[in-house]
Amino acid sequence: MAGKGPGSRFTLERRLWQEIIGLLLLALGGVTLLSLLSVTHGTLSDRWADLLRQLFGWGAYAVALGLGAVGIALLLHSLRGLQEVPWDQVIGAELALAAALALLHLLSRGKDPFRLAQEGGGGGYVGWAISHLLTTALGPPTAALLLAVIGLAGLVWALRLSPRRLAQGAMEALFPGPEVAELPPEEPAVAISPREAPPAPAPPRVVSRRRKRKRAGKVEPDVEGLPPLDLLAPDSPQAHREAVLQERRRIIEETLASFGVPVRVVSISQGPTITQFGVEPGYLERRGPDGRIRRRKVRVSKIQALAKDLALALAASPVRIEAPVPGRSIVGIEVPNAEVSLVALRGVMESEAFQALDSRLKLALGRDVSGQPVVADLAIMPHLLIAGATGSGKSVCSNSI
């Protein structure tokens, strides 16, 4: 078959080797842990346990657990179809382990450090070598501080944690801010939509033509004009409290800034079901190798990756991000309105866009995210496809047409 080429066979062999190595490491970690706990005894297992105790001291148990963890990670990595192993996380874990061994040996200075390593205590020979080197060069206090920083950095590297988010979470846990009270719903709503009050109903266009045609000896009756638009229900007034919109503007800017993505809300377009906040990406300042500060614009992909965080902060779901907005150099963040406004047929048919369309098969489809009417000409459509997610209004649109 065409799909089974040399590339696919190489990928299969590579995944197979990952699974084999993962199983071996998992088995080695289990045997090592049992040997260290003196559950199993044997010449080879006892010597292996003594060697690990002399090398890593009290950290030998962490080495056994680490071997098993790496084996499980390789198996899961292969089962998910991934090819590249995250060696950066492995290096971070090894760095944290080395710093921990050195700290164990440095803090266990009640007896001779070298003899402690020989007896399999402290951090073993590895911990003794690192701590002896650093204490000779920097002194015990400075060496302990440096090892703590290196261990924390390795742990953050291995777990891929953000120090800024950790510090922010600790500050929020220690110093919780005041709760934001909900706005009273009895306040009068302030409409900020650019659309003014609906215009006076336009007189219906009379399309009747009094023609009398004789067909099989019968006279065709007169064709009456279309019914007036006054028979249809008008649009419901669309309004949003100014305070709610400004609060959402502030939440969007502060939430993105807390993740290191500075933006500025430059426009607010209110529609019947959602409100689109147009944001302009900011700039990140970083110091280069030459010491000069360089500015780099925020990537649009970083804003798109924070859609779920924005939905959580705004207490609104789903939040859709349009990047970029067609015809504009901004990113659109679409947030569902708390109250959905009804889009009536009369308002769209009375709009200038519908009246300006010169066609006998013109359609009033609805309104877009900014509240502007959307019309179309069915005569110029060889094919018509109505698509959308579940609950987006496909059946309602078909019935309206």
Q: Which residue has the higher pLDDT, 98 or 376?
A: 376
Q: Answer yes or no: is 355 within a domain.
A: yes
Mean pLDDT of 68-86: 70
Q: Model confidence over 171-229: pLDDT tens digits?
A: 777 766 555 455 555 555 555 555 555 566 666 555 444 444 444 455 555 556 678 88
Q: Answer yes or no: is 24 within a domain.
A: yes
Q: Are residues 307 and 368 in the same domain?
A: no
Bridge-partner residues for 219, per DSSP? 214
Q: Answer yes or no: is 12 within a domain.
A: yes
Domain end (from 146, 161, 176): 161
Q: Are residues 389 and 280 in the same domain?
A: no
Asked if residue 87 lies in contact with residue 77, where contact means CB atoms within 8 angstroms, the answer is: no
Q: What local confidence, expressed as pLDDT, does residue 310 receive?
A: 92
Q: Are residues 324 and 373 in the same domain?
A: no
- Residue % of the chain over a pLDDT of 90: 10
Q: Answer yes or no: is 27 within a domain.
A: yes
Q: Answer yes or no: is 177 within a domain.
A: no
Nearest C-alpha neighbor of 258 from the set 178, 316, 336, 313: 313
> For residues 66 and 25, what is the distance between their CA atoms, to the nearest angstrom?
9
The pair of three-digit structure tokens given for residue 5, joined into one six-digit string: 């080429």
- Residue % of the chain over a pLDDT of 70: 74
State the average pLDDT for the chain: 76
The pair of three-digit structure tokens given for residue 39, joined into one six-digit string: 């559950």
CATH number for the domain spanning 251: value is 3.30.980.40
Q: Are residues 365 and 331 in the same domain?
A: no
Q: Are residues 16 and 133 in the same domain?
A: yes
Q: Are residues 16 and 69 in the same domain?
A: yes
Q: What local confidence, expressed as pLDDT, does residue 213 receive?
A: 44
Asked if residue 29 lies in contact with residue 71, where contact means CB atoms within 8 angstroms, the answer is: yes
Q: What local confidence, expressed as pLDDT, does residue 391 receive?
A: 76
| pLDDT-based confidence at residue 146 (cuts at 50, 70, 90) | confident
Q: Are residues 306 and 247 in the same domain?
A: yes
Q: Are residues 51 and 83 in the same domain?
A: yes
Please count the helices (runs of H) and the strands (runs of E) in the chain.
14, 10
Q: How many domains does the chain have?
A: 3
Q: Are residues 54 and 34 in the same domain?
A: yes
Q: What local confidence, expressed as pLDDT, does residue 231 receive?
A: 84
Q: What local confidence, expressed as pLDDT, does residue 1 receive?
A: 45
Domain end (from 128, 161, 194): 161
Q: Are residues 387 and 254 in the same domain?
A: no
The pair of three-digit structure tokens given for residue 57, joined into one six-digit string: 């001291």
| pLDDT-based confidence at residue 83 (cuts at 50, 70, 90) | low
Examine the pLDDT at 79 and tell me if it is beyond 50. Answer: yes
Q: Are residues 354 and 301 in the same domain?
A: no
Whole-prediction pTM:
0.38
Bridge-partner residues for 254, per DSSP? none
Structural domain boundaries, residue 323: 242-284+294-336
The pair of three-digit structure tokens given for residue 206, joined into one six-digit string: 């009379």
| pLDDT-based confidence at residue 151 (cuts at 50, 70, 90) | confident
Q: Model confidence over 345-371: pLDDT tens digits?
A: 888 888 888 988 888 888 888 888 777
Burial class (CB in 10 A: 0-12, 13-18, 19+), 290: exposed
Q: Answer yes or no: is 233 within a domain.
A: no
Q: Are residues 54 and 137 in the same domain?
A: yes
Q: What local confidence, expressed as pLDDT, does residue 110 receive?
A: 62
Domain end (from 161, 181, 209): 161
Q: Answer yes or no: is 73 within a domain.
A: yes
